[in-house]
Structures are given as C-alpha cells and as structure tokens.
Structure 1
Amino acid sequence: MESTGTQPEQTTQLTELAPNAALLVIDVQKGFGNPSLLALGRSNPAAEENIRALLDAWQDAGRPVVFVRHSSLEPGSPLHPDTPGNELQDFVEKRRTAEGRRGPEVLIEKTVNSAFIGTPDLADWLEAQGIRQLVTAGIQTNRCVETTARMGGNLGYDVVVPIDATYTFGDTGPGGEHLTADELSLATAVNLHGGGFARVVSTAEVLAALGG
C-alpha cells in the first residue's frame, strides 16, 4: 500500500493573491502519525515541507493565518482531546506561538470536517478581517481539507488549494473497493476543480503569487 507520492497535475494558473488572503492550516496534528493510519498508505511525503514553507511565507509577510485543530468525539481516536495526538505537530505549534508574529491569527477548534463549523466561528473572524480569499492546506486531503474548501466555495470565498500541501490515507468503500491515498487526492482535485469550489494549484504557484 505504499504511496508513490505522486500529486495531481495542475493546469489552473494562479498569478496573484489578495494582500489579506488567509492561510488555513487544517488539522496538522500528531495523531496523524498513528501507525494504524500509516498502515493504510499515506500520500505526498512532501506535505509537511510545503505546509512549513507556506506558514513561513505568510508569517514573514504578516498575512493572516488560521490554525485549525480537530478534537474527535470518538473514544479511542488518535485525535481525541485526551490524547497527545490532539496536539498540533511541533513545527506548526512552534510557529503558532512564536513571538513577534505580525499578522492576525486565530485557532479554530472543531469536532466535524468543516473548519467553518467550529469555535470561534471562522466566517465571523474572516468577516471581521475583511478576508474573502482562502488558501487551504493540511490533513486530510479528501476529508477536512476538501470539506472546508467546498463550504468556503459555497459561502462565496475565493478558495485556493495547494494540493501538494495536503495528504491523506487509503480508504475502503461500502462494497469493499479500495482507493489508495494518491487516488483519493486526485479525486479531491477533480471534485474541487470540476465543481468550481476552488482553484487547485501547487505550493510553488502559491509562493510565486505572493509577490504578484
């Protein structure tokens, strides 16, 4: 079940970003290193490096960042708030709590897939900041990242998804059919692009557009 790490090829051009485009860092938590999840096969080994690059670029420029943490209500979940897996991964937490951060930042706590259904209310926070463009990264590609991007698109935000700054795991459907993590990532790219929910791009495109 090893992932090739191959990411969907992108064709949507991104030439510039709004000065106050918000970076959403979704569920980059320690629990996703759980052996039971890794045994399913993980996509995109470069995801953490790309998320780190995006975070550094946003914070260095004083742009708004939204950190999102999933607190599962399911007993035994690696993301349950009573477990160490609920914590943000060290490289994210270090940047979230670093001194001297210049841009507006917020931590959203949620128990469902969408970051728009959490505390504090994400839409209210974005409105208060005058933000209408979102760049969504994190875990899992086909679950919380995709759900948040879909809902953001439905709410009228301009959503950009650097798909190589996300990852997921293989999964099995109701008939026993199995899709690899790479296949599920490709399905997310197709769903978001084809449905008009978001522009699916690469991390390199996003970083280049920061200077656009």
Structure 2
Amino acid sequence: MAATALVMIDFQAGFHHPAWGARNNPGAEAQALRLAGHARAQGWPLHMVRHLSTTLGSPLHPESGGLAFLAGFAPQDGETLHEKSVNSAFIGTGLEADLRAQGVTHLVICGLTTPHCVSTTCRMAANLGFDVTLAHDACAAVAANADTSWQPGLAAPDPEAIHAAAISHLHGEFVTARSCAEIMGAAR
C-alpha cells in the first residue's frame, strides 16, 4: 500500500492556447515531468487529471482540440486518468476512492492553473484529511485568471503575482509548498 501519490492536474494542450494570455513559470511542465519520473522511481501511484470544459469556445472544451495531454503527460500503464468538468479533481471523479483504496495518506500535487484547479484540489484534499505537498514550481498561472471587472480601475495583477498569491493562501493552511528539488530530495 502506498502512502504517497502524485496528482498531476490539467497538463493539456488547451492551456497553451493564446486565449489564456501571459503566464508565469514557463518551466512548470519540465519540473512536473521530472517530478513524475521521481514518483515512478519511488513507486508512488500517479493520478493524471484532465479538464473537460462544458463551456463552448473554451480551449478545454471537447470540441476545441485542446484536451490532449502535453507530451509526456499521458497516463502510463497502471496510472489512473480522472476527467473532470469543475475545478476540483475530487468532484465527479473516482480520485478519492482510488487514493483510499491505494492506502494513500499524502498527496504531492502539481498542475495548471495555480489559482483555479490546483488550488481547489489542494483545498479539498486537505479538507478530506490528506497531507498535501504542493510542488509550487511545477505549477503556473495565466493572465486570463485575473478578472478585475468587479472593481473599476483596479489593475489586473500579472501571472507571477497571481501564482504567488495563490501559493501564499494555500501554504500553511492547506498544503506545505515545496520546490520539486526539495520534494525529490526528501525521504518519504
């Protein structure tokens, strides 16, 4: 029975669509692939999550062509695919049941985008009683996440500020934020 599992969220072609605008951390995918290699070497279960938007025109809608996993992110034999249409990887999927059946108590989470599906999944994982480590350098935020229409005259933050704020809100309350190097160097 595994104590730790890696949950990789929404590393899909649709997140490279120009509609998302600028993003931070262009190395997030490379870091996530290194982390996946480490997890496989450690024998951790890997759970790949894919977003299927219900919004027509979304780069993540099934008709958009953006559902494909980025190179290297498709589940390998024995790894589980969970498909969702909301922000949390736990809603409408078998993720929690699969983790419990595998004896997982600790999650390492990474993915796209930091303030949405990553944050929501981290919060829910912690609320479900999992110990959560967020691989902050294997995540990224995009400019399209910054809707300031609710406050006229408010400047939209850049993706780096969005990412940093999301991580700051999670760290200490829901997760322990660590770099991939720290995670891979820690014995677990």
Q: Normalized against structure 2, the TM-score is what?
A: 0.92
Amino acid of the structure 1 residue aligned with 2:180: T
**Does 2:165 correspond to 1:187?**
yes
Counterpart Cα distance in 2 of 1:22 and 1:88: 19
| Residue matched to 1:199 | 176
Alpha-carbon distance in 1 for matches of 2:111, 2:16? 13
- Rounded to whole Å, the distance in 1 between the matches of 2:138 and 2:15 is 15
Gaps of 5+ in 2: none
State the percentage of identical aligned residues. Answer: 38
After superposition, the C-alpha distances for 1:115-162 in whole angstroms (9 at most, x for unaligned) are 01133x211111111111100001001100010000111111100001
Q: Which residue of 2 aligns with 1:51?
A: 32
Q: Does 1:141 align with 2:124?
A: no
Could you list the runs of 4 or more consecutive aligned residues of structure 1 that deviate by over 6 angstroms after TM superposition? none
Cα pair 2:2 2:102 within 8 Å, conserved? no
CA distance in 1, matches of 2:71, 2:27: 16
Are residue 109 (structure 1) and residue 88 (structure 2) matched?
A: no
Helix, strand or coil for the counterpart of 2:8? strand
One-letter code aligned to 2:27: A
Contact kept, 8 Å, 2:2 with 2:104, in 1: the verdict is no
Q: Distance in 2 between matches of 1:109 and 1:19?
A: 22
Q: Secondary structure in 1 aligned to 2:3?
A: coil
Unaligned segments of structure 1, at least 5 residues:
1-17
Q: 1:152 and 1:161 mapped to 2: Cα distance?
A: 11
State the match for 1:158 in structure 2.
Answer: 131
Distance in 2 of aligned mates of 1:200 and 1:32: 23
Count residues in correspondence: 183
Q: Is the 8 A contact 2:2 2:103 kept in 1?
A: no
Aligned-pair CA distance for 1:182: 0.6
Counterpart in the other structure of 1:175: 151
CA RMSD in angstroms, aligned pairs only: 1.6
Code of the residue aligned with 1:41 in structure 2: it is: A
SS in 2 for 1:42: coil
Q: Answer yes or no: is the 8 Å Cα contact 2:123–2:174 preserved in 1.
A: yes
**Is the partner of 2:83 in helix, strand or coil?**
strand
Q: Deviations over 1:65-111 (max 9, x none)?
A: 00000000000111011232011112212xx23xxx5xx52111100
Partner residue, 1:208: 185
TM-score, normalised to structure 1, is: 0.82
> Which whole-Å CA distance do the structure 2 matches of 1:208 and 1:54 have between them?
11
CA distance in 2, matches of 1:64, 1:125: 10
